[in-house]
Structure 1
Amino acid sequence: MPTVEELYRNYGILADATEQVGQIRRQAIKELPQFATGENLPRVADILTQLLQTDDSAEFNLVNNALLSIFKMDAKGTLGGLFSQILQGEDIVRERAIKFLSTKLKTLPDEVLTKEVEELILTESKKVLEDVTGEEFVLFMKILSGLKSLQTVSGRQQLVELVAEQADLEQTFNPSDPDCVDRLLQCTRQAVPLFSKNVHSTRFVTYFCEHVLPNLSSLTTPVEGLDIQLEVLKLLAEMSSFCGDMEKLETNLRKLFDKLLEYMPLPPEEAENGENAGNEEPKLQFSYVECLLYSFHQLGRKLPDFLTAKLNAEKLKDFKIRLQYFARGLQVYIRQLRLALQGKTGEALKTEENKIKVVALKITNNINVLIKDLFHIPPSYKSTVTLSWKPVQKVELGQKRTNEDTTSGSPPKKSTAGPKRDARQIYNPPSGKYSSNLGNLNYERSLQGK
């Protein structure tokens, strides 16, 4: 059996080998698993992990295969070597070791990924999560959420707590700090799929209502082309369905209500001749209103007398006027959109313009249903709608997973800087009078980049 010194001396030879002896390097990599016995195995895993930094695709594949083979011999020992390099190794080794775990763990059989092995992964991951980049955090959430032991209710709750810790929900929110805003968004995106009727989103929803909504207009982000305000409102809407008992429900409902009023304008005043006194009618921002109305509708179920008992008569009257005005404009656009899409099927619906119109129809129909609920006396919160972007999101995430899982044949490429968000379709009708011709609708901002 080789000594530890011999193992590391041989690693030095491998690391320093030139292109002319590439074949010797590859053969040595193939032979390394034979040395992985007893106390040597973690050290072999450590060496193989360091060799992940190779830019030679053939060598990279050999290293991956060698790591997988010793994983099946002793999963805990192999994890020791991998996490040693993740915690202490060079940046490129750390990056590739994390990606190895994120793509290869799920390929291992159940007899390898035992409960004890998964507990070790969780323990070591928590150490790494004390200091990670946004991209690393996303990869670790992918690793952890794929573990069988964390797919239970209690397991998902553990993951939510991990995410909340990363999001720094106890700290003061700084809307003008793009890193602070980006961290919150990255963490919330990871938390959203974990929420359910048994794993509540209360802590995140409370934080968004108390700290983010009041600062919505001043949010900054390092991600070019991202509509940060709409992104926040979409996340809030998705989380609101799973909010549990909230300590300051009335206060936070009021914050949500006030923000909703900002996006639901009063009708313009009429001059004596019946024309608008102003130059143009206010812009109706349907995408934002869908999110805010949905969130208000979800939380309002927990305090159904909010509109009738918690608001004074003047404010309630103001709200009804805004709802009526918005509903009138809504009906115009719904009719126009239905007319424009009537009879279109298959390829005709796949054009960029028609895809936008389909999404626009979903948004306006959703708002219409929610407004009808609030017009009831007393208001009703019984209707159920599916948020307009949900089906699009599922398809895009599925495609993203496929792309990530096909990179094992060559060394991972350096990812572009900054977090990316799947493209979203957004519909904002133009300002000015309601158009009687759908061709006049303004689609300039209908597609948002990442």
Structure 2
Amino acid sequence: MPTTVEDIYKAYEEIEEIAKIGPKGDEVKKSYETIISGAHGESNCKRLAAQFIPRFFGKFPELHETAIDALFDLCEDTDLNVRLTVIKYLPNVVKESDKVAVRIADALVQLLQNETTQEIAAVKKALEQVIRLSPHDSIVAIFQQSLKGSPEVRNRTINFLSSDLNRFKDDLFAKGQDIEACFANEVKKALHDANLSEYETFTKMLLSLKMYKAENKENVKELINVFVESIARNDEVFDPNNHIKVQKLILCGKTLIPYFEKGIKSTTFLAFLVNKVLPNDTFYKLQEKQQKSILRFLADCISGKHTEATIKSAAPLVKELFIHEIPSPPENDSEVEPKLDLPRVEYIVFTLYCIASKIPEVAEGEEISSRFKNLYVISQKCIARIKQGLKDLQKREPKDQETQEKIKKAEGGQIVTNNILNMTKELMKPPKARHFTKIHHSWQSLTPSNALPAKRPADSSLPSTSNKKVQIGESQLTTKSPQKIKQSSKGVAPRTIQNRQQLNTSRSSGINNNSFRSNGGGGSPGRISKINRNYAKTNQPNLYVPPPRRV
């Protein structure tokens, strides 16, 4: 005989009454079984069951599996009102027993893929309650289970973590540093296998944590190591043709440079550049804009704090870069003057200048000395042209916006070229005669540094005025390397609530693709997440025979 509303109310009153005078074993158990059986009754019975099963969940541990199974049945009911009710009261299950927090959190995250706005809002509110009730278990469940689900579940989960959780994370983490550390550890684990947009999202999550403020130097050092390993671990080769890896490297550099400017050691990132990126067979397979970004990172790292061993490893590679980029003097006056990308040259010369202050022999030898002389002459000619161009531009009347922009570019070019000229002049001297005065690289004086760009550029070149080609009138200083390097160049996702097993039970990775139904009863049509019953059962028998699976 089907369970009625009256049966459920009577069972509720019996449990409440018996609870006042003390437990009476099987009598109370049968009353709770009656409430659970209501999950397969009429709509009103289901809604009552959705409220009362969580309320008494903690009193009947032997019926936990049966109760959770019934609640998850209600989560996939065709009646929107039933689903909204069970979602609202699911956090009460965690209140009664935090041992099931992992399973409840995992189920709620997967319910985020349902389509009705009202339902999604209810799921987010319930998920927030569960996380507040059991932070560690919930955070671990969300990262270790939900991120391994279908692509849509993964996307909805990351969206919840980056936006909704961000609203209350300060309150959550204020309960103890271990909660913030738990969250940080799970984000760091997800970095390596993240795609580019996920990587950027995870990076912003980490940078927003108090534990990674610049004053927490030990934490920041550990974070730097994690970022570097997320691009390529020690046993991995950095592939310059892997677009995602390259873009991760660019984003990683933009993220870490501000820390280096505040005195954090750049050893780990510098060693990565030296060992995996700078060797010619790797570096010159990158696109020109990407090469330029790497050279800027190199210059910023060299000017910061690092170990002596790392700078010694960098010295020969930087010398090779200089020789490769700067042409030797022309054999006769009829040769056309080479056109150089001045910011690119400045990055290389600045790096060489910093290294030479500690390892003088890196700037010695005929091959490099001849190029210093040629670069010195080219720089002088560039400065003369820039000065003349500035004079012509400043005479123009009226000074429209285009003219003002050209003046600004010319002034930036003048700073860059003066830097190159001054450093080259010093490096041309014999080692004992050199006086390495502090030279401020132009990209620091021309643009502020940002930990993360507001919007990632399509080709991820650094947003610096000095990175732009310097244009003066009709002439333009462009890149011309000694050799030209050839550049390499909606279905429906499965929707299930998976892994409904206990923490210490092995999990199944099966995805049920037949998981779509129309809303009926109390709701408008929409998709509903369907339960997958691939989890271990206890020895407790079910109280009812499940109805035929709805398709």
Bin for the TM-score computed over the shorter chain: 0.7 to 0.9
Work out which structure has the larger RCO, using CA pairs closer than 8 Å and 6 or more positions apart in sequence.
2
* Equivalent in 209, 212, 217 of residue 274 of structure 2: 209
1:136 equivalent in alignment to 2:198: yes
Shift of 1:286: 1.0
Shift of 1:57: 4.3
Q: Which residue of 2 aligns with 1:292?
A: 348
Match of 1:157, SS? helix
Q: 1:384 to 1:320 in 2, by over 3 A?
A: closer
Shift of 1:201: 1.6
Shift of 1:157: 0.7
Decide whether the 8 Å contact of 1:45 with 1:67 is kept in 2.
yes
* Equivalent in 403, 408, 412 of residue 362 of structure 1: 412
Q: Amino acid of the residue matched to residue 337 of structure 2?
A: E
Shift of 1:45: 2.0
Deviations 1:327-380 (A, max 9, x none): 213313432554466499xx955x5x8547635532540341243144235334
Match of 1:81, SS? helix
Q: Amino acid of the residue matched to residue 440 of structure 1?
A: E
Q: Which residue of 2 aligns with 1:371?
A: 421
1:227 equivalent in alignment to 2:289: yes
Q: Which residue of 2 aligns with 1:321?
A: 373
Decide whether the 8 Å contact of 1:153 with 1:199 is kept in 2.
yes
* Equivalent in 28, 44, 47 of residue 107 of structure 2: 47
Decide whether the 8 Å contact of 1:52 with 1:93 is kept in 2.
yes
Decide whether the 8 Å contact of 1:330 with 1:368 is kept in 2.
no
Decide whether the 8 Å contact of 1:36 with 1:44 is kept in 2.
yes
Shift of 1:440: 0.8
Q: Show the 5 A alignment for 1:272-311.
A: 276-278=333-335, 280-303=336-359, 305-306=360-361, 311=364
Q: 1:83 to 1:171 in 2, by over 3 A?
A: closer
Q: Amino acid of the residue matched to residue 116 of structure 1?
A: D
* Equivalent in 439, 462, 474 of residue 440 of structure 1: 474
Q: Amino acid of the residue matched to residue 427 of structure 1?
A: K
Decide whether the 8 Å contact of 2:105 with 2:142 is kept in 1.
yes
Per the normalisation by structure 1, the TM-score is 0.74
Decide whether the 8 Å contact of 1:176 with 1:219 is kept in 2.
yes
Counterparts of 1:91 and 1:159 in 2: how far apart (Å)? 27
Shift of 1:154: 0.4
Match of 1:399, SS? coil
Match of 1:124, SS? helix
* Equivalent in 424, 427, 450 of residue 468 of structure 2: 427
Q: Amino acid of the residue matched to residue 148 of structure 2?
A: Q
Q: 1:7 to 1:301 in 2, by over 3 A?
A: farther
Q: Show the 5 A alignment for 1:43-122.
A: 43-108=103-168, 110-113=170-173, 114-122=176-184
Deviations 1:33-64 (A, max 9, x none): 34441324443322221122234444434433
Per the normalisation by structure 2, the TM-score is 0.62
Deviations 1:212-256 (A, max 9, x none): 3323663146xxxx7222222222223222241231634532321
Q: 1:73 to 1:285 in 2, by over 3 A?
A: same
Q: Which residue of 2 aligns with 1:218?
A: 284
Counterparts of 1:341 and 1:24 in 2: how far apart (Å)? 73
Decide whether the 8 Å contact of 2:293 with 2:462 is kept in 1.
no
Counterparts of 2:115 and 2:395 in 1: how far apart (Å)? 54
Q: Amino acid of the residue matched to residue 98 of structure 1?
A: I
1:162 equivalent in alignment to 2:226: yes
Decide whether the 8 Å contact of 1:289 with 1:367 is kept in 2.
no
Moved more, 109-118 or 57-66: 57-66
Q: Which residue of 2 aligns with 1:273?
A: none
Counterparts of 1:371 and 1:188 in 2: how far apart (Å)? 27
Q: 1:43 to 1:125 in 2, by over 3 A?
A: same
Counterparts of 2:477 and 2:337 in 1: how far apart (Å)? 18
Decide whether the 8 Å contact of 1:202 with 1:246 is kept in 2.
no
1:145 equivalent in alignment to 2:210: no
The answer for unaligned runs of 5 or more in structure 1 is: 271-275, 402-415, 431-437, 446-450
Percent identity over the alignment is 22
Counterparts of 2:146 and 2:117 in 1: how far apart (Å)? 21
Counterparts of 1:59 and 1:340 in 2: how far apart (Å)? 66
Shift of 1:83: 2.3
Counterparts of 1:164 and 1:187 in 2: how far apart (Å)? 7
Shift of 1:9: 4.0
The answer for unaligned runs of 5 or more in structure 2 is: 1-55, 58-63, 480-551
Q: Amino acid of the residue matched to residue 54 of structure 1?
A: N
Higher Rg of the two aligned structures: 2
Q: 1:16 to 1:362 in 2, by over 3 A?
A: farther
Q: Show the 5 A alignment for 1:342-353.
A: 342=394
Shift of 1:277: 1.9
Counterparts of 1:9 and 1:422 in 2: how far apart (Å)? 55
Decide whether the 8 Å contact of 1:53 with 1:96 is kept in 2.
yes
Moved more, 149-158 or 50-59: 50-59
CA RMSD in angstroms comes to 3.9
Q: 1:124 to 1:320 in 2, by over 3 A?
A: closer
Q: 1:180 to 1:140 in 2, by over 3 A?
A: closer
Counterparts of 1:269 and 1:419 in 2: how far apart (Å)? 38
Q: Show the 5 A alignment for 1:261-280.
A: 261-270=323-332, 276-278=333-335, 280=336
Count of aligned pairs between the two proteins: 402
Q: 1:65 to 1:285 in 2, by over 3 A?
A: same
Q: 1:247 to 1:232 in 2, by over 3 A?
A: same
Q: 1:12 to 1:189 in 2, by over 3 A?
A: farther
Decide whether the 8 Å contact of 2:341 with 2:478 is kept in 1.
no
1:383 equivalent in alignment to 2:438: yes
